[in-house]
Chain A
Amino acid sequence: MTLPPLLEARGLVRDFGPHRAVADVDLTLDVGELMALFGPNGAGKSTLLRLLSGSLRPTEGELHFRGVPFMPGDPRVARQVGVLSHRSFLYRHLTARENLRFYGRLYGVVGLEERVARRLETVGLQARMDHRVATFSRGMVQRLALARTLLHDPALVVLDEPFTGLDLDAALRLSRVLTEVRSDQRAVILVTHDLQRGRELATRVGVMSRGRLEVQAPAHSLDGPGLEALYRRVVEVPS
């Protein structure tokens, strides 16, 4: 018997008034896959991520998680999804540990203290666990946000431009963690403007333009120039 894909979107549409932000997107994502999604600003990437993570209601179309239809706010799905955005969802006046404890309680994480310590170690922040987030650099905040995203062991990890504002070291560390996350039997969907980094991390790439997911291809089938050429062709950027 074939298991249903972890995540499946069929005919996904999202309108904001007269503007169609996401148009007729079909997408499946299986465990062990990391899909990198590219596209120019306003292509609908972030809106698609919000739809897939269950934080936005689609105007049309269906979403299935492990074969079961779901809508935003479904706690069964929320428990299995982790979202990292370019905003951290963290509280500046709480310490790193307090932030993770707080989110861990909301997700009902069992063995919370141990899990918090482990996640802080994963992102290299155990030495700063009792420092307030307000004292952290942008890179440290993003690493802590990654720890928050992975705290409840989500099966689906959704990452919206996680490299924004990170210096080289922080970006490399994040890439390393993402590679581990992918090999950890999860599915990851990543939106980034960094074509090369996205291609290196991904098993599959997709390019969006004007709300449509115009093309999807296995990452190994494209080299750097090939991906750039594909991107330019899809978004009609003259080379």
Chain B
Amino acid sequence: MTAWIWAVWAILHKDLTREFRTWERLVAMASFAILTAILFNYALDRTEVDPARIASGLIWMTVLFSGLLGLGRTFHLEEEEDALVGLLLTPIPREALYFGKVAANAVLLGVIGGLLLGVFGLFFGLEVRGNPWALAGVMALGIVGFTAVGTLFSAISAGTTMGESLLPLLVFPLLVPLILFGGRATALVLSGGPAEALGGPVRMLGAFAVLALVTGGLLFRYVVEE
């Protein structure tokens, strides 16, 4: 078990070290997220729509779109000098490689999620009326579920000739529950809705994350081997 955790940590540490040196994925994701928020800001007619009422859905849509930009590159990073072959030759369990990648992607998306809350807060005048920790928890659960699915499908799409362009087609249909329950839970926290109403969507987000992690962990080996 210790070796397994050590391997997950090594993958996570390597991916984050590389990212914080190149800023390759974070800059692309952050630029896209900010530009999208600006466009939403101008696209909405504030005399017809109260931005605060639809902000939660817009935040999650933007997290998913910008997240796919970064997740799509997850395994392309390993193509340089055939590093994925090198990783698969090591004795680490394939699941450790998957969970290391999911963890690194979740950290990057967590940064983007935090940035988006700030940007939407600024443009749309959002106010967190509920518990800010509950908002962080909802975001974290949603991001873990999203990265668990996105990392698995990034490995699948990296092995195809269509590459990154295939990723949204594969992933979006699976993310409908995330948009539904993530959006609902975020709206409840932002509006300061009753805590008991939050339980349902949070449980669904948690179940989605667990199911995605377990499925990803089980299937990853078959995706990357040969």
Contact = CB atoms under 8 A, between A and B. Distances in A.
A binds B: yes
Contacts of A87: 81-82, 85
Contacts of A179: none
B47 interface: no
- Chain A interface main SS type: loop
A7 to B, nearest CB: 15
Contacts of B86: 83, 89-90, 103, 148
B14 interface: yes
A94 interface: yes
A91 B9 CA distance: 17
Given A91-B14, A108-B91, A148-B86, 12 more contacts: A73-B225, A78-B91, A81-B89, A83-B86, A85-B85, A88-B81, A89-B86, A89-B87, A91-B81, A92-B80, A93-B21, A105-B9
Interface string A72-84: 1101101101010
Contacts of B91: 75-76, 78-79, 106-108
A105 B225 contact: no
A54 interface: yes
Given A54-B89, A78-B90, A107-B90, A89 B82 contact: yes
Interface size class of B (residues with CB under 8 A): 20 to 34
A105 B6 contact: yes
A103 B18 contact: no
A54 B14 CA distance: 24
Contact of A92 (B10, B81, B88, B92): B81
Interface string B187-226: 0000000000000000000000000000000000100011
A94 B13 CA distance: 11
A27 interface: no
Interface string A29-73: 000000000000000000000000111110000000000000011
Contacts, number: 78
Contacts of B92: 75, 106
Nearest to A145: B81
B225 A72 contact: yes
Contact of B89 (A78, A88, A91, A92): A78
Contacts of A108: 3, 6, 91
Interface in B72-105: 80-83, 85-94
Interface in B158-210: none
B83 A90 contact: yes
B134 to A, nearest CB: 36
A98 interface: yes
B88 A55 contact: yes
Contact of A53 (B3, B87, B89): B89
Given A106-B90, A108-B3, A94 B82 contact: no
Contacts of A79: 91
B131 interface: no
A89 B83 contact: yes
11 contacts: A72-B226, A75-B92, A76-B91, A78-B89, A83-B89, A89-B81, A89-B85, A102-B14, A103-B86, A105-B9, A106-B10
Q: Which 6 A-B pairs have the closest CB atoms?
A: A89-B86, A75-B91, A87-B82, A105-B10, A78-B91, A106-B90
B226 A56 contact: yes
Interface in A89-123: 89-94, 98, 102-103, 105-108
Interface in A135-177: 148
Nearest to A83: B89
A91 B226 CA distance: 22
B116 interface: no
Nearest to A102: B14
Contacts of B94: 73
Contacts of B13: 102
B17 interface: yes
A73 B224 CA distance: 11
Contacts of A105: 6-7, 9-10
A76 B225 CA distance: 17
A91 B90 contact: no
